[in-house]
């Protein structure tokens, strides 16, 4: 998968990006999931700010193809959710749990993306803000920029920038210690605030999933891929988006399951157990190895009780025989949120997740070690990362 990722022009580990930003100011703290800034708005020494930007990535291409094939506009609300969650859920990992300011940046090719699609994205965002308010998550929409830039964008790129202000005492630092356990939260299933089954796919690994599962029929949509790439690595699968997958869902619906937010769950957890939380990791780019970017040296993370990967990930893996080691490095494999805590608190975190009908369990532990490393032990094999 990593080799194909490179050949298809993307990177799961974002090496070039990390190299480009390595000399930038790290903010107030170096042991947090998101960059924390001083409160320049009021000058308060007790407060801080987080600003975060992200997009739905190449998932919007799948939405485009599915809409072209079926005429179903509802998938565009899911793309709005993907972009929102990729911001909000990163921010909650650092302790921001409410009153998010949100601004959109949507770039489209007007000749391929008509007004009805643009409206579906914008209205979908507004509907989501109203829905999230029912769960106690307040998001305030500040508008944004929508540009017709066909020279730059082949179809549509949906992104958001979010900002929140919080007390410095509320910041969640990533400071696990030997003896801590890791509670994992499932990315799949149907939570109490979701209307249908979620495959757990999220927003990462969709370039690979798209080309590995879908067939050559989609080569006719030249706007959906980089035409400089060799056709031998494009749309090498067997399926159409409107096909029925072995689990009974449409292929398109599996790939377009909106990224689940954990904001309501984490909000409740931090309200009750903030003193016992020693790090929250959102397993997006980098999959199960994401924690290595944040944990301090001298620790060994062992994940030996992970969820059994749900259908979507096994299906992707089997499509082209991707090595399990690489799967764990690219996608979340059914577990998109990790919380480090003590063993006594872990059970309460699991119970809070269960009130939202989200599966959670202790997936691993923290040990002392000379060098920082991650060990994954699963039914798919044993894999070491450093």
* Per-residue pLDDT tens over the stretch 1-27: 555 656 666 655 556 665 776 767 889
Bridge-based pairing state of the strands 139-148 and 100-108: parallel
pLDDT of residue 7: 67
Looking from the CA of 230 toward its CB, the CA atoms found within 13 Å total 5
Residue 224: inside a domain = no
What is the residue whose two structure tokens read 């994954």? 376
pLDDT in tens, 171-184: 999 999 999 999 99
Residue 266: inside a domain = yes
Alpha carbon separation from 8 to 63, 159, 204, 247 (Å, rounded):
19, 22, 14, 28
pLDDT of residue 2: 53
Predicted TM-score of the model (pTM): 0.93
Helix (H) or strand (E) holding 374: strand 373-378
Residue 311: inside a domain = yes
For residues 326 and 11, give the distance between their C-alpha atoms in angstroms, rounded to a whole number: 12
Contact 250, 244 (CB under 8 A): yes
pLDDT of residue 25: 85
Vertex 381, ends 340 and 203: CA angle to 5°?
55
User: Of 14-28, 136-150, 280-294, where does mean pLDDT reach its minimum?
Assistant: 14-28
Residue 241: inside a domain = no
pLDDT in tens, 222-271: 999 999 999 999 999 999 999 999 989 999 999 999 999 999 999 999 99
Q: In angstroms, what is the C-alpha Rg of the chain?
A: 20
Q: Which CATH number belongs to the domain containing residue 349 in this structure?
A: 3.30.1330.10
Residue 24: phi and psi, rounded to 5, are: -75, 155
Residue 23: inside a domain = yes
Mean pLDDT of 343-361: 98
pLDDT exceeds 90 at position 44: yes
Token output for 254? 């599996």
Alpha carbon separation from 326 to 30, 153, 226 (Å, rounded):
28, 30, 23
pLDDT in tens, 211-222: 999 999 999 999
Residue 211: inside a domain = no
Confidence grade of residue 367 (pLDDT, cut at 50, 70, 90): very high
Full DSSP string of 149-185: -TTT-SSEEEEEEEEEEEEGGG-------TT-EEEEE
Q: Report which of 271, 88, 262 is spatially closest to residue 170, judged by C-alpha positions.
A: 271
Q: Report which of 267, 273, 269, 239 is spatially closest to residue 253, judged by C-alpha positions.
A: 239
Residue 326: inside a domain = yes
pLDDT of residue 27: 94
pLDDT in tens, 257-272: 999 999 999 999 999 9
For residues 73 and 130, give the distance between their C-alpha atoms in angstroms, rounded to a whole number: 19
pLDDT of residue 132: 97
Domain count, the chain: 1
Residue 204: inside a domain = no
Full domain range(s) for residue 330 = 2-197+257-385
Helical residues (DSSP H) of 137-283, grouped into ranges: 206-213, 251-255, 263-273
pLDDT exceeds 60 at position 117: yes
For residues 300 and 45, give the distance between their C-alpha atoms in angstroms, rounded to a whole number: 35
For residues 338 and 295, give the distance between their C-alpha atoms in angstroms, rounded to a whole number: 12
Helix (H) or strand (E) holding 360: strand 360-368
């Amino acid at each position: 998968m990593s080799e194909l990722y490179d050949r298809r022009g993307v990177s799961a580990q974002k090496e070039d990006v990390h190299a480009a930003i390595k000399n930038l100011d790290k903010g107030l703290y170096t042991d947090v999931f998101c960059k924390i800034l001083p409160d320049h708005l009021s000058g308060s020494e007790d407060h801080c700010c987080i600003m975060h930007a992200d997009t739905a990535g190449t998932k919007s291409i799948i939405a485009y193809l599915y809409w072209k094939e079926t005429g179903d506009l509802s998938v565009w609300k899911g793309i709005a959710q993907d972009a929102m969650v990729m911001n909000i859920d990163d921010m909650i990992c650092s302790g921001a749990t409410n009153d998010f300011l949100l601004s959109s940046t949507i770039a489209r090719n007007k000749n391929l993306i008509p007004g009805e699609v643009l409206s579906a994205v914008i209205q979908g965002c507004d509907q989501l803000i109203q829905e999230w308010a029912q769960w106690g998550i307040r998001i305030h929409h500040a508008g944004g920029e929508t540009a017709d830039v066909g020279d730059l964008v082949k179809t549509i790129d949906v992104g958001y920038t979010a900002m929140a202000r919080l007390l410095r005492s509320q910041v969640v630092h990533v400071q696990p210690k030997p003896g801590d356990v890791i509670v994992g939260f499932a990315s799949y299933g149907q939570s109490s605030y979701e209307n249908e089954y979620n495959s757990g796919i999220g927003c990462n690994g969709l370039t690979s999933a798209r080309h590995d599962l879908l067939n050559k029929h989609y080569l006719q949509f030249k706007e959906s891929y980089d035409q400089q790439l060799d056709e031998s690595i494009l749309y090498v699968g067997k399926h159409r988006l409107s096909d029925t997958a072995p689990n009974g869902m449409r292929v398109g619906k599996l790939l377009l399951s909106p990224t689940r937010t954990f904001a309501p769950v984490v909000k409740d957890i931090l309200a009750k157990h903030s003193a016992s939380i020693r790090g929250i990791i959102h397993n997006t780019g980098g999959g199960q190895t994401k924690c290595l970017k944040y944990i301090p040296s001298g620790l060994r993370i062992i994940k030996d009780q992970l969820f059994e990967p749900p259908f979507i990930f096994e299906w992707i893996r089997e499509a082209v025989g991707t090595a399990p080691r690489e799967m764990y490095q690219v996608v979340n494999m059914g577990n998109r949120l990790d919380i480090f805590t003590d063993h006594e608190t872990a059970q309460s975190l699991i119970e809070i997740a269960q009130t939202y009908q989200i599966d959670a369990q202790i997936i691993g532990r923290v040990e002392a070690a000379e060098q920082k490393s991650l060990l994954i032990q699963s039914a798919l094999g044993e894999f070491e990362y450093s």
